[in-house]
Structure 1
Amino acid sequence: DWRMQVAAEKGFDLFGANEAAVGALRTAGLEPRGTLTALLEQADVVVDCTPKRVAAENVTTYRAKGLKFILQGGEKHAVTGHSFVAESSYAAAVGRDSTRVVSCNTTSVVRTLTALKAAGLLVSARGTLLRRATDPWESHESGIMNTLVPEPAIPSHQGPDAQSVDPELDVVTMAVKVPETLSHLHYWNVRLTRSSTREEVLEAFRGSARIALIRGDRGLGALNAVKEWMLDIGRPRGDLYEVALWEDMVTVRGDELFYAYMVDNQAIVIPETIDAIRAICALEPEPSRSMAITDASLGIGRLVAAIRHEPATIA
């Protein structure tokens, strides 16, 4: 389809999953370089983004060829035995044969709670997720209209999934599917270790370059506005790699914290995947150095600096 055509125009080599797929690519006027077997002969590490449960079947092939591999969050933690969010579990991934980059929502949960944990503030967290209905490129074929669909299980899978990254997290999530595809929206109620202040909490969030504090009173009060901002500043595909957390909504009452944020389902795991490659290939043993390199390449620090009206200082 058009996505393969764009990839070819950008200079990417195309391969088919099997001979039939190679034939289909040729019929479409494209020039594949061979099958998956040929691709794996050239690979140092595989980032498998196939639909959930498909990658689990590919793992046998990767292991037989001695290839390192990274799976996406639709696969079970048990397939790799390690789940990845750079700010939490990078060190444990260094030199491993494989890892699993968790889903967009789970990534945001771990990022924000890790920031609070690092500041010595986190006891427990309860979150409600408003999930986009389908992937944007499929919204003409699937999704929902004129309704909301609550996920029947409490906790929803994101809470236990966050615990696969950090078993120490006391976290429960609930989720509802909503009729839009721009991003996800989270609301959180967190129990703190002690009475705190709004500024102390904001300072904890500022400790992560991958959390961008935004303000609704500066025109960024809705998901579409934030996506338009990303397009206007020239982010590829309008990608928001950071958790966009509303600074002006953060509320602290004694030892209770309340906040909300936006998750770009197509973008947030991109820096995580880059760091995961570095980790399992043992290219950089120090998590902070890997994240600094990734953030600089994607302009993450520049976005945070722009929000704070500060000069960007990325190492």
Structure 2
Amino acid sequence: MTQHDPVRVAINGYGVIGKRVATAVLAQKDMRLAGVVDIATDWRLRPLEEQGIDLYAASSEHAQTMRGAGFTIAGTLDALLGQVDVVVDCTPKRIAAQNAEIYRANGRKFIVHGGEKHDVTGHSFVAEVSFDSAAGRAATRVVSCNTTSIVRTLTALKRAGLLKRARGTLLRRATDPWESHLGGIMNTLVPEPDIPSHQGPDAQSVDPQLDVVTMAVKVPQTLAHLHYWSVLLTRNASKEEVLDAFRASSRIALIRAGDGLAAINTVKELMADLGRPHDNLYEVALWEDMLKVEGDELFYAYMVDNQAIVIPDTIDAIRALTGLARTAEDSIAQTNETLGIRAAFC
């Protein structure tokens, strides 16, 4: 790869995250999608051929089964690894940790996601915080959807000199929408058994200085997550001062219930009306007119699209590992432009 060549990207796993990463990579001028790896034999992989994306099998055994189901297979994972610069692993939880050894053995840079532990790569990634420390590394882990939102919002307050400590309650969707017929919960709420829930410590894997505690409960819906936060500020502040801090992040978009965006389904409908691929909400959608400041106490709520929020950070992680961008600001600006990310929906 020369300085002017696009980075060759492989995606392992074409599920909820994988297909969105593929769409995002195809939108980047400095990247080329070399192929997608999977093991499925059903409808999920049918769109690849129409998009002209090469499909690879995880193994020769899977290749035989997939060909038997009518798919054109370009080769196996091993063959694809010889053609790429970086692998984005979007396989189910714990599978990526096993795949990491394959990538290392082949000398390929790789990215895993929040379903894996920090120790799999030794580095956790949110573009606005840890881009510089990811530069040139062999691997990184893009943290989960909820953790990404926590780091984005608390970092905005921290950079404004306003953050002392934060306590959050997360209402978590029961399952991904496309799998809602297979599981999930009905007519109940399921609290995460530990306080803090895992998202707070996970945010500290990106920024150890964050004083954050989270609690989480699984709720019977599949559209998105909803967060409520209570933050102790470093001093008394005005509402406008806090909003300015959030506005300083290009990946926090302010919304207003007064404009009719009063629930998570309305925000998802807006993403469809805007023509976003897969109705993606890449931003943290934070309710401006709900936010309240009382002296040195701040209260706010926001929505997290669990299927989409990590996509821009994954693109930035590719640039960090491969040297495509020198700074987080450069990469974030490119990604925001190609994905149409904006700072307000009101």
SS of corresponding position for 1:15:
strand
Aligned length: 305
Moved over 4 A (4+): none
Where does 1:221-300 land on structure 2 (aligned, <5 Å)?
A: 221-300=262-341
In structure 1, distance between residues paired with 2:157 and 2:48 = 40
Q: Which residue of 2 aligns with 1:313?
A: none
SS of corresponding position for 1:248:
coil
Where does 1:55-134 land on structure 2 (aligned, <5 Å)?
A: 55-134=96-175
Where does 1:23-62 land on structure 2 (aligned, <5 Å)?
A: 23-62=64-103
| TM-score, normalised with respect to structure 1 | 0.95
What's the offset of the Cα at 1:8? 2.0
Which amino acid is the alignment partner of residue 214 of structure 1? I
What is the CA deviation profile of residues 250-302 of structure 1, one whole-angstrom value per residue up to 9, with x for unaligned ones? 1000100000000000100010000000001111121111100000001113x
1:147 aligns with 2:188: yes
In structure 2, distance between residues paired with 1:13 and 1:43 = 13
Which amino acid is the alignment partner of residue 253 of structure 2? A
SS of corresponding position for 2:217:
strand
Which amino acid is the alignment partner of residue 313 of structure 2? E
Q: Work out the percentage of aligned pairs sharing the same amino acid.
A: 69
Where does 1:144-183 land on structure 2 (aligned, <5 Å)?
A: 144-183=185-224
In structure 2, distance between residues paired with 1:155 and 1:9 = 45
What's the offset of the Cα at 1:60? 1.3
The root-mean-square deviation of aligned C-alpha atoms, in Å, is: 0.8
Structure with the bigger percentage of helix = 1
Which amino acid is the alignment partner of residue 232 of structure 1? D
In structure 2, distance between residues paired with 1:162 and 1:185 = 17
In structure 2, distance between residues paired with 1:176 and 1:133 = 9
Task: Select the residue among 215, 222, 225 that pairs with 1:184.
Answer: 225
Moved more, 62-71 or 101-110: 62-71
What's the offset of the Cα at 1:12? 1.1
What's the offset of the Cα at 1:24? 1.9
| TM-score, normalised with respect to structure 2 | 0.87
What is the CA deviation profile of residues 37-91 of structure 1, one whole-angstrom value per residue up to 9, with x for unaligned ones? 1111111100011111111111111111110000110111011110000011111
In structure 2, distance between residues paired with 1:8 and 1:25 = 13
SS of corresponding position for 1:29:
coil
What's the offset of the Cα at 1:158? 0.3
In structure 2, distance between residues paired with 1:80 and 1:285 = 21
